Amino acid sequence: MAKFRERSAFDTSAANGYTLLPARFTRLAGDQYVATNMAGEYLLLPRPTLQAYVNGSLSAQDPAYDELKSRHFLMDADSDVAVDLLALKVRTKLAPLANFTGLHIFVTTLRCEHSCPYCQVSRANDNRTEFDMSEATALKSLDLVFSSPSPTIKIEFQGGESLLNLPLLRFIVAEAKRRNQVAQRNLAFVIATNLAVLTDEALAICQEHDILISTSLDGPADLHDKNRPRPGNDSHARAVEGIRRARTALGHDRVGALMTTTAASLPRVREIIDEYIGLGFGGIFLRPLSPYGFAIKTKSYQSYNQTRWLDFYFEGLDYIIELGLGGFEFIESYAAMILKKMLTPHQTSYVDLVSPAGIAIGAIVYNYDGTVYASDESRMLAEMGDRSFALGNVHENSFAEIMLSEALLEPLEQSFADSAPGCSWCAFEPYCGADPVFHHATQGDPVGKKPLSAFCNRNMAVFRGLITRMEADPRVRVLFERWANLV
């Protein structure tokens, strides 16, 4: 019967003078391997050097030795503070967890005058006021918002089209600011809107309360209007005019935009980027479709596969890099958030790139009917009939009951990347996140089978692509370091 060897068999320190610190590695290309440590620092090593390092036979005269030592992959007699320094870096990465929920999403209405085929939620016609949030529900939701210990509170208004319930939006802002006179949080507001129904009254509210605007922009007029149809077929014209008016009233940088990649977008990534540049945006987030809501019902999600999106993404990324090397400052936001984790001691707040998962911890959703969801995607899943991530109701449950519900704790525990099968030994784990809602929606459990996971394979391809590009060209690394410090 086989048995474990003695502990001393694994101790290499006596033989070569160094001790291995926790690390993971994976092949990048050819003979090159990526090694990462707990803090997310990485090194590229040729296979023979990696083997010598792991086997405990790497010479102190090897050029890689000092690199591995300085980045906390090994420690020797001259680096007895290495463990403390590594622990400090890990604590810095995880520190935002102590703040708990900072982003609170209010679904003020399901009404919308657009009929986007890729929409991730079930929308209602713009005359169906029974799908509006009430003041009573808003007040109960604010009770939970201010129960969060986070020093920073951001309230985001979503829909439907959030501006179709403008009186409630005004009410929530006024009440939140009144409560904050006592709570003294860093309070901010964002309105997610298609801008088609933007009024002077709405702009005045935004101006008075310093509210940010986030809108949708899928590219040039013909593409945007195809992706986001509305009566009059003038979605793009209204969005562009709304951006102009909002910037005039609020300031250029107070308006952001997001795009969604459809099958029609795939051959047009440069045009899409040029549209953003032409409208004066400083970057773009090249987002794939998500498997929820109308995107499933209309089969939009199945209209292209992961490989086609990656081709689209890297064509766009390379174009943006080309612009940057030519002196034009423009970023790809998803890459920038990953690079922040790769190249700085800080964490991103983007919920898809954090572990434990960002559900409820990073962002939480208060639906128009008072139901509390672990994330916006959880609400979308519920609209499809699956309420697995419904955490309670503002009229029935306390903050503690919602945050300690099994609907939240179970998927958080199961999907924690440091212990999840396929993640715990992955070299890219420090840069990735856990997305239990996506895996539940696509594979039926919050962990998912990683070799079959579109989330996992897409992210790994992006991580490899970013590392390959900055290791191949020092100018790209300098560019990426700037990006990492802009988000």
CB atoms < 10 A from the CB of 129, how many?
11
Where b means 16+ CB within 10 Å and e means fewer, 326-344 reads: eeeebbbbbbbbbbbbbbb
Contact 68, 14 (CB under 8 A): no
Contact 152, 101 (CB under 8 A): no
Contact 168, 135 (CB under 8 A): yes
CATH number belonging to domain 100-403 = 3.20.20.70
For the chain, the structural domain boundaries read 21-94, 100-403, 409-472
- CA separation for the pair 120, 378 (Å, rounded): 11
pLDDT for 294: 47
pLDDT for 125: 62
pLDDT tens for each residue of 199-232? 999 999 999 999 999 999 999 999 999 999 999 9
Q: Please tell me the pTM assigned to this model.
A: 0.91
Q: Give the confidence band of 98 by pLDDT, cuts at 50, 70, 90.
A: confident
Residue 116 has pLDDT above 90, yes or no: no
Residue 13 has pLDDT above 50, yes or no: no
Token couple for 263? 């099958």
pLDDT tens for each residue of 329-352? 999 999 999 999 999 988 888 988
pLDDT for 304: 75
pLDDT tens for each residue of 72-97? 999 998 877 888 888 888 888 888 88
Residue 158 has pLDDT above 80, yes or no: yes
What three-state secondary structure class fits 128?
coil
Give the mean pLDDT of 436-442.
Answer: 90
User: H or E segment at 321?
Assistant: helix 306-325
SS3 for 397-451 is CCHHHHHCCHHHHHHHHHHCCCCCCCCCCCCCHHHCCCCHHHHHHHHCCCCCCHH
Alpha-carbon torsion, ordered 280, 282, 288, 290, to 10 deg: -90
- CA separation for the pair 215, 199 (Å, rounded): 15
- CA separation for the pair 329, 341 (Å, rounded): 21
pLDDT tens for each residue of 441-466? 888 989 989 999 999 999 999 999 99
pLDDT tens for each residue of 24-74? 999 999 999 999 999 999 999 999 999 999 999 999 999 999 999 999 999
What three-state secondary structure class fits 215?
strand
Closest CA to 247 of 260, 257, 259: 257
Contact 286, 334 (CB under 8 A): yes
